Amino acid sequence: FAQDNVFKIGLILPMTGQQATTGRQIEAAAKLYMAQNGDTVAGKKIQLIIKDDTSIPDVTKRMAQELIVNNKVNVLAGFGITPSALATAPLATQSKTPQVVMAAATSSITEASPYIVRTSFTLPQASVSIADWAPKNGIKKVVTLVSDYGPGLDAEKFFKERLVFNGGTVVDTLRVPMRNPDFAPFLQKVRDLKPDALFVFVPSGAGAAVMKQFLERGMDKAGIKLIGTGDITDDDQLNDMGDGALGVVTSHHYSAAHPSAVNKKFVDAFQKANNNLRPNFMAVGGYDGMRVIYEALKATKGQGGGDALLAAMKGQIFESPRGPIFIDAQTRDIVQNIYLRKVERKDGQLYNVEFDVIKDVKDPGKAR
Ligand code: DHB
């Protein structure tokens, strides 16, 4: 393949540091997608260039700049956390390079550049359904505990608004630092407040630490339920959380236990290729993001620049391992089902077992 017959995807991920599981999951998913679908599309050889931004936004930005200027990538993808996605947005706009956000989930990200397309989810999307479920299930008085940055603030705001609308109350809104959080003092406070439940959002990879401290402090025995978005019962860690996690109810867009043929095939292939690692919601964002890129390349017959590729990404609709998804052409954000799930033991392993679904949920953050 001559250089102009190579289609380059610059995949920027946190491969080391606190968010490393996000990078590992998305890298594995992108490679699986390529292994299953070939590395030649519309006469172009697909080249994946993976960069570790260590989840430091200044590093993300520098890497994006290098990928655009030196490597001349056709598409930027990845983006493990919100600040990394936001730091890159102006570069995507200036260079007219589509930026496929596969992980970061603050609502406003898609508004930071007209070149951003998202295949992950948004925290408002995930948070409102659990706020509808809770008051119908005896949970009226809640304390929220979130990571103190974009997605956490979205989760807090949208959960609280909806719970109050449904007649519940949020008696305190606690925020923990995003980097190296110590949950202990916050959990002590929650114990003293004695709510019916604690609602938690922490980013992927931090859930197990929260669960451990929640149980160590006997919060469950004190009658406080743990609820949240599915980031807390992350499939990457869930199996190691132990029986204390049983019964935890969350709302989210993906469970490795999602009962569909497409998902079963995805989970089996992912585990086979990755030493039995279970794919989580980050993996599915990466896998679907690759599909969106491949289909845009096909639709433009390998001839499209950034604007043509972006146009071909808008409006895509297909069945993902998570269920049916749609890239809203107006917002460039993902429309998808949100599931209510409960942690159960199945075949000796812990899973988020889906028991209800809210179909075709648009990001509630976009309406305002
Ligand atoms: C973000 C990161 C996560 O790991 C997650 O689970 C949700 C959101 C973010 O930074 O946007």
Q: Are 343 and 333 in contact (CB under 8 A)?
A: no
Per-residue confidence band for 327, with pLDDT thresholds at 50, 70 and 90: very high
Residue nearest to atom 11 of ligand 1 (CA): 104
Q: Are residues 208 and 354 in the same domain?
A: yes
Q: Are residues 352 and 223 in the same domain?
A: yes
Instruction: Please give the single-letter amino acid code of residue 134.
Output: A
CA distances 12 to 66, 145, 158, 224, Å, are 11, 29, 29, 39
Per-residue confidence band for 4, with pLDDT thresholds at 50, 70 and 90: confident
Q: Are residues 88 and 128 in the same domain?
A: no
The token pair at 110 is 């898609």
Q: For residue 119, give the nearest of 294, 303, 257 by alpha carbon.
A: 294
Residue 7 Cα to ligand 1 middle (Å): 28
Q: Ligand 1, residue 84: give the atom nearest the CA.
A: 10
Mean predicted lDDT score pLDDT of the chain: 97
Q: Are residues 248 and 152 in the same domain?
A: yes
Residue 20 Cα to ligand 1 middle (Å): 12
CB proximity list for 368: less than 8 A, separation 6 or greater: none
Task: Please list every protein residue whose CB sits less than 6 Å from any atom of ligand 1.
Answer: 22, 81-82, 103-106, 150-151, 203-204, 231
pLDDT at 145: 98
Q: Are residues 360 and 318 in the same domain?
A: no
Q: Ligand 1: which of 82, 116, 236 to mutate, judged by most atoms within 8 Å of the beta carbon?
A: 82
DSSP assignment of 108-127 equals GGGGS-TTEEE-S--HHHHH
Secondary structure class of 85 (helix, strand, coil): helix
Tens digits of residue pLDDT in 16-32: 999 999 999 999 999 99
Q: Which residues form the domain of 286?
A: 3-121+259-332
In this structure, the strands spanning 225-229 and 44-52 are: unpaired
Tens digits of residue pLDDT in 138-164: 999 999 999 999 999 999 999 999 999
Q: Are residues 288 and 223 in the same domain?
A: no
pLDDT at 368: 55
Residue 256 Cα to ligand 1 middle (Å): 18
Domain count, the chain: 2
In this structure, the strands spanning 197-201 and 169-176 are: unpaired
Residue 255 Cα to ligand 1 middle (Å): 16
Q: How far apart are the first and last CA of the chain?
A: 48
Q: Ligand 1, residue 22: give the atom nearest the CA.
A: 4
Give the integer Cα–Cα distance in Å for 292 and 333: 12
Q: Are residues 12 and 113 in the same domain?
A: yes
Secondary structure class of 251 (helix, strand, coil): strand
Q: Ligand 1: which of 231, 233, 282 to mutate, judged by most atoms within 8 Å of the beta carbon?
A: 231
The alpha helices in 303-365, defined as continuous H runs, are 306-313
Q: Ligand 1, residue 149: give the atom nearest the CA.
A: 10
Q: State yes or no: pLDDT of 236 exceeds 70.
A: yes
Residue 5 Cα to ligand 1 middle (Å): 35
Tens digits of residue pLDDT in 168-190: 999 999 999 999 899 999 999 99
Residue 270 is part of a domain; what is its CATH number?
3.40.50.2300
pLDDT at 290: 99
Residue 204 Cα to ligand 1 middle (Å): 6
Q: Are residues 83 and 143 in the same domain?
A: no
**Which class for 73: exposed (0-12), middle (13-18), buried (19 or more C-beta within 10 A)?**
buried
Q: Are residues 162 and 111 in the same domain?
A: no
Secondary structure class of 313 (helix, strand, coil): helix
Q: State yes or no: pLDDT of 318 exceeds 90.
A: yes
What share of the chain in percent tops pLDDT 70?
99
Exposure class string for 106-142: b at 16+ Cβ within 10 A, else e: bbebbebbebbbbbbbbbbbbbbbbbbbbbeeebeeb
pLDDT at 317: 98
Q: Are residues 84 and 212 in the same domain?
A: no
Q: Are residues 326 and 177 in the same domain?
A: no
Q: Are residues 65 and 23 in the same domain?
A: yes
Q: For residue 333, give the nearest of 295, 299, 303, 362 by alpha carbon.
A: 362
- Map tokens 């990879």 to a residue: 205
Phi/psi at 364 (5° precision): -65, -15
Q: Are 298 and 42 in contact (CB under 8 A)?
A: yes
Q: Are 202 and 182 in contact (CB under 8 A)?
A: no
